[in-house]
Chains A and B, each alone.
Chain A
Amino acid sequence: MDHRARLPLELGLPRGARPRRWMPTLAAGLSIGEYARSLERRLAFLTAVLLAAIWALGGQGYFWPAWAWLGLGDLVLLDFTAGWAWRHPPGAIRRVACVWALVGAAAVILVFTWLLTWLLAGVHSFWPAWALLGLATAGSSYSLVALHDRVLVAHGRRALRARIDMLTHTRRQAVAAQAAELRRIERDLHDGAQARLVALTLQLGRAELRVSDQPEVRRLIKDAQHEARQAIEELRDLARGIVPPLLADRGLVAAVESLGARYGLGTSVDATMHRALAPAVENAAYFVIAEALTNTAKHAAAARSWIVISEERRALTVVVGDDGAGGADPAGSGLAGLRARVEALDGSLKVESPAGAGTVLEARLPCGW
């Protein structure tokens, strides 16, 4: 058989499953349904050839087998389009596909019938035009109605995703800007207001030296100096609460080592870092560690504590552990505050604190900032 004759027979078969033999067998790995369809097509083809042969042997004349071919072709076509429609996911899409399969099949049959009437009976006008238009209108209308909701949902999803992307982006910007702003405020407090107050105490000191013979004035100057010193101290505490200077000047590891030394718990610090971190990540990691150490010192009665800071690809992991009493309440205000801080950076916080077996707190902070 020639190539052109084979093609329509095998169109409906799944790819890669084309049998090489003339008559398919179940052993070829086909399902019963596929087997039946394949058999049907081959029988249709055989019948078509047989009829053509009878026509050829019977003295030819009017080519009547064409009408039989039309019937057989309809059968194969409907089978093929139904198979195509069934491959779609169930639901509205499959229903729409089924409608279009029917519309398509009907259209092909109409056009083929017209072709036969034109070739065999000499009918020149394209009579199926209105029927085709009707079919297309019906198919389109059905599709519109059936897919309307779906299109709306997809549109809604896309809009939602865009909104999430935008919110994620702007939140990151806000958090990063806030961290940078806090650093700027800390520096401004030290170099602005605090420096002016220092200059003021210096001037007052110089003035005091010049009035050493006037105890009344000296006392006033001393009082003024005392006030200025108080103000300086308050500003210093305020700045330290915003960002500890060591963190701003030397980064996370130096600041954490200093923290560990201050708590004096025999705290070991093990840090693996490859690059400078964004201020937002650094601030969060620092406050997590500071809070954890404070809790350890206050409640844990621990003999030792340890801090491990490691950076892998796109996240910073901070682990603070102690061998103390354990039993920390993960819902307590301190830990809840830390969780909020970490989650603002899309990070996560885990606390393991079984009674009597120490506490291990692990914060994971994405560093793509």
Chain B
Amino acid sequence: MRVVIAEDLALLREGLVALLRENDIEVVAQVEDGPGLLRAIAGHEPDLAIVDVRLPPTFKDEGLIAAIEARRRQPALGVLVLSQYVETAYASELVGEHTAGIGYLLKERVGDVRAFLDALRSVAAGGTVLDRQVVAELLAPREGADQTLPGLTAREREVLALMAEGRSNTAIAESLVVTPGAVEKHITSIFAKLDLGACDEDHRRVLAVLAYLRVAR
């Protein structure tokens, strides 16, 4: 896997580069701003870009805008956006029309190295990974809100939240301390309630998460 990193804080950038190299992931370019990211992507054609939301010169949302532009130019590129905070509005924009190969995580998730590497690989392979905080916000019951989505049970919401984080069925089962069979039953039920018909399983998982994202928009 070939990766480009766009992060302006040297301490963090160097830490990430070291982490990826130790785990046999090739870092082909390190850049500090949006235009640098677009140049690196055109030059190196990486599989994945890891992008900080706030980049120079204004430290607002340059990174997000550059990541969306990078995706527009190279739809096959996986984009993992890291941020010190998460905003559902940013998640919606990032997901946009192209649902595959998108990740949006809080920066501190890099500390859980195994899960972070799983997320990287998942995004590079076309999966969708959303931070559990985004998902929690999306799934939070709203006072006075219309239930646009058919009411999921509390357990189904938990399962959906873990799916949104890019967890496998086995991982979900471990996390909820239930059998993988039970998880599968919940997932089938979620798909049915969200009216996601027969198509390939991975794709349906993404759609299920997106169904919630769209409601939030």
Distance, CA A261 to CA B148, complexed state (A): 13
Distance, CA A301 to CA B11, complexed state (A): 49
Q: Does A249 reach chain B (CB closer than 8 Å)?
A: yes
Q: Does A232 reach chain B (CB closer than 8 Å)?
A: yes
Taking a contact as CB atoms under 8 Å apart, the answer to whether A301 and B110 are in contact is no
Q: Which residues of B contact A263 (CB under 8 A)?
A: 142-144
| A261 partner, pick from B60, B116, B143, B217, beta carbons under 8 A | B217
Distance, CA A236 to CA B19, complexed state (A): 24
Known: A249-B61, A262-B137, A265-B145. A202 touches B112 (CB 8 A): no
Taking a contact as CB atoms under 8 Å apart, the answer to whether B85 and A202 are in contact is no
Taking a contact as CB atoms under 8 Å apart, the answer to whether B111 and A228 are in contact is yes
Indicate with 1 or 0, residue by residue over B68-87, a CB within 8 angstroms of chain A CB atoms: 00000000000000001101
Q: Kindly identify, within residues 195 to 250 of chain A, every residue whose CB is under 8 Å from any CB belonging to chain B.
A: 195-199, 201-206, 208-209, 225, 228-229, 232, 236, 239-240, 245-246, 248-250
Taking a contact as CB atoms under 8 Å apart, the answer to whether B12 and A202 are in contact is yes
Q: Kindly identify, within residues 125 to 158 of chain B, every residue whose CB is under 8 Å from any CB belonging to chain A.
A: 137, 142-146
Taking a contact as CB atoms under 8 Å apart, the answer to whether B111 and A198 are in contact is yes
Q: Does B22 reach chain A (CB closer than 8 Å)?
A: yes
| A194 partner, pick from B19, B84, B111, beta carbons under 8 A | B84
Q: Which residues of A contact B112 (CB under 8 A)?
A: 205, 225
Q: Which residues of A contact B61 (CB under 8 A)?
A: 249-250
Distance, CA A228 to CA B59, complexed state (A): 24
| B11 partner, pick from A190, A195, A208, A257, beta carbons under 8 A | A195
| Smallest Cβ-Cβ distance to A254: which chain B residue | B89
Known: A263-B142, A264-B145. A190 touches B84 (CB 8 A): yes
Taking a contact as CB atoms under 8 Å apart, the answer to whether B59 and A187 are in contact is yes
Distance, CA A249 to CA B11, complexed state (A): 23
Which of A236, A245, A248 has the most CB atoms of chain B within a 10 A radius of its CB? A245
Q: Which residues of A contact B11 (CB under 8 A)?
A: 195-196, 199
Q: Which residues of B contact A254 (CB under 8 A)?
A: 89
Q: Does A302 reach chain B (CB closer than 8 Å)?
A: yes
Q: Which residues of A contact B54 (CB under 8 A)?
A: 190-191, 249
Q: Kindly identify, within residues 140 to 187 of chain A, every residue whose CB is under 8 Å from any CB belonging to chain B.
A: 187
Taking a contact as CB atoms under 8 Å apart, the answer to whether B89 and A202 are in contact is no
- Chain B residues bordering chain A, tally (CB within 8 A): 32
| B111 partner, pick from A205, A262, A297, A303, beta carbons under 8 A | A205
Distance, CA A201 to CA B111, complexed state (A): 5
Q: Does B171 reach chain A (CB closer than 8 Å)?
A: no
Taking a contact as CB atoms under 8 Å apart, the answer to whether B87 and A245 are in contact is yes
Q: Does A258 reach chain B (CB closer than 8 Å)?
A: yes
| A297 partner, pick from B9, B18, B85, B144, beta carbons under 8 A | B144
Q: Kindly identify, within residues 5 to 25 of chain B, every residue whose CB is under 8 Å from any CB belonging to chain A.
A: 9, 11-12, 15-16, 18-19, 22
Q: Does B211 reach chain A (CB closer than 8 Å)?
A: no
A-B contact number at CB 8 A: 108
| B108 partner, pick from A206, A229, A264, A303, beta carbons under 8 A | A229
| Smallest Cβ-Cβ distance to B84: which chain A residue | A190
Q: Does A266 reach chain B (CB closer than 8 Å)?
A: yes
Q: Kindly identify, within residues 89 to 142 of chain B, every residue whose CB is under 8 Å from any CB belonging to chain A.
A: 89, 107-108, 110-113, 116, 137, 142
| Smallest Cβ-Cβ distance to B110: which chain A residue | A202
Taking a contact as CB atoms under 8 Å apart, the answer to whether A203 and B15 are in contact is yes
Taking a contact as CB atoms under 8 Å apart, the answer to whether A261 and B15 are in contact is no
Distance, CA A245 to CA B110, complexed state (A): 21
Taking a contact as CB atoms under 8 Å apart, the answer to whether A205 and B19 are in contact is yes
Taking a contact as CB atoms under 8 Å apart, the answer to whether A206 and B144 are in contact is no
Q: Does B88 reach chain A (CB closer than 8 Å)?
A: yes
Q: Which residues of B contact A198 (CB under 8 A)?
A: 12, 84, 107-108, 110-111
Known: A198-B12, A198-B110, A246-B87. A191 touches B59 (CB 8 A): yes
Shortest beta-carbon distance from A276 to chain B in Å: 12
Taking a contact as CB atoms under 8 Å apart, the answer to whether B88 and A261 are in contact is yes
Give A contacts to B, CB under 8 Å.
Answer: 187, 190-191, 194-199, 201-206, 208-209, 225, 228-229, 232, 236, 239-240, 245-246, 248-250, 254, 257-258, 261-266, 297-298, 301-303
A-B contacts, 13 listed (Cβ < 8 Å): A187-B59, A190-B54, A191-B9, A198-B107, A206-B19, A228-B108, A228-B111, A249-B54, A249-B61, A264-B146, A265-B142, A265-B145, A297-B144
Give B contacts to A, CB under 8 Å.
Answer: 9, 11-12, 15-16, 18-19, 22, 54, 59-61, 84-85, 87-89, 107-108, 110-113, 116, 137, 142-146, 216-217
List 3 A-B pairs, minimum CB-CB distance, nearest first. Answer: A201-B111, A264-B142, A264-B145
